[in-house]
Amino acid sequence: MSRTGDARVFAIVPAAGSGRRMGAEVPKQYLELAGRTVIEHTLARIAGHAAVVRVAIAIAADDARFAALAPQLPDACRVVTGGAERCHSVLAGLDALADEATDDDWALVHDAARPCVRSTDIDTMIEALAGHAVGGILAAPVRDTLKRCDADGNIEATVDRNALWHALTPQMFRFGALRRALRAALDAGELVTDEAQAIERSGLVPRVVAGHADNIKITHPADLALAELILAAQARA
Ligand code: CTP
Ligand code: MG
């Protein structure tokens, strides 16, 4: 079993979304990308990472597609039923691993819709956060000039981008703290959009770890072709 310091890494892969913005016949995690489904690429990179001891995959209650992939999955994978929003799905994954993980182990959450995450970025993140009390997220610095506008599209201000980052996944936090923070957010009726937001509202301070911007989240139809190019470029590198 791999360890980072004393803490083991438990992964949660939320895959219970319907891909509304993609507008495809099937949820985007089941679209084909370079010969296999998006989620298969993602799981190969997460379950295949040497530091990850267990993976909980949260799928939709009415998911009829995952079962066909399940036989090929590594033994480390467990399937759980997700919920209405991403935060519900992540919490379901954490709950499913809670019998095995201790409070101080790491929970590493990674979107099924990000099949291009680099194994080396996961290494960087685990190394950067080893020994950290809270945890953090992979992120990419904002590169474009940013404008704040009114509702009619009139520019009101130029926003200093130096302090701004795009939040990516994986997001890795101490297991117990993340589970409590997500539950508290949901109990308060706040549908947090990432794990860091739950941690932040609990008063803890996560940090960013610079990752590569090719770790895109497949969101719109054009992203599939982009992901193919990224995977091909990564394979050549
Ligand atoms: N997700 C989930 N449970 C939900 C909603 C989303 O597990 N109730 C997962 C998605 O499957 C995806 C990740 O969270 O892997 C990021 O969400 P997003 O990109 O928003 O995916 P969808 O919600 O499927 O897409 P859309 O918002 O366009 O409907
Ligand atoms: Mg969504």
Predicted confidence at residue 75, as pLDDT, reads 86
- Could you report the per-residue pLDDT of 133-184, keeping only the tens digit for each? 999 999 999 999 999 999 999 999 999 999 999 999 999 999 999 999 999 9
Q: Which residues contact 162 (CB under 8 A, 6 or more apart)?
A: none
Q: Give the environment of ion ligand 2: residues with CB less than 5 A.
A: 17
Cα of 15 vs centre of ligand 2, distance in Å, is 10
- Ligand 1 atom closest to residue 84's alpha carbon, by position in its atom list: 8
- Could you tell me the pTM of the whole model? 0.96
Whether the predicted pLDDT of 5 surpasses 80: no
Mutate to test the pocket of ligand 1, among 46, 111, 186 (most ligand atoms within 8 A of CB): 111
- Ligand 1 atom closest to residue 83's alpha carbon, by position in its atom list: 8
> Does residue 22 sit in helix, strand or coil?
coil
Q: Which residues line ligand 1 (CB under 6 A)?
A: 14-22, 27, 29, 58, 82-86, 89, 111-113, 217, 219
Domain count, the chain: 1
- Ligand 1 atom closest to residue 22's alpha carbon, by position in its atom list: 28
Cα of 16 vs centre of ligand 1, distance in Å, is 6
Least confident of 2-6, 17-21, 170-174: 2-6
Closest CA to 177 of 206, 162, 197, 199: 199
Q: Which residues contact 203 (CB under 8 A, 6 or more apart)?
A: none
Can you say how many angstroms the Cα of residue 228 is from the centroid of all Cα atoms in its chain?
19
In this structure, are residues 232 and 116 in contact, taking their beta carbons and an 8 Å threshold? Answer: no
- Could you report the per-residue pLDDT of 26-81, keeping only the tens digit for each? 999 999 999 999 999 999 999 999 999 999 999 999 999 999 998 888 889 999 99
Predicted confidence at residue 2, as pLDDT, reads 44
Apex 24 CA angle, 18 and 26, nearest 5: 55
- Tell me, what CATH number does 121's domain have? 3.90.550.10
In angstroms, the CA 78 to CA 99 distance is 13
Taking the CB of residue 91, how many other CB atoms lie within 10 A of it? Answer: 24
Cα of 21 vs centre of ligand 1, distance in Å, is 10
Confidence tier at 6 by pLDDT (50, 70, 90): confident
In angstroms, the CA 10 to CA 109 distance is 8
For residue 223, the surrounding DSSP H or E stretch is: helix 222-236
Closest ligand to Cα 86:
1
Cα of 208 vs centre of ligand 2, distance in Å, is 22
- Ligand 1 atom closest to residue 18's alpha carbon, by position in its atom list: 24
In angstroms, the CA 214 to CA 229 distance is 10
Domain that holds residue 38: 2-236
In angstroms, the CA 219 to CA 197 distance is 21
Cα of 126 vs centre of ligand 1, distance in Å, is 24
Mean pLDDT of 118-135: 97
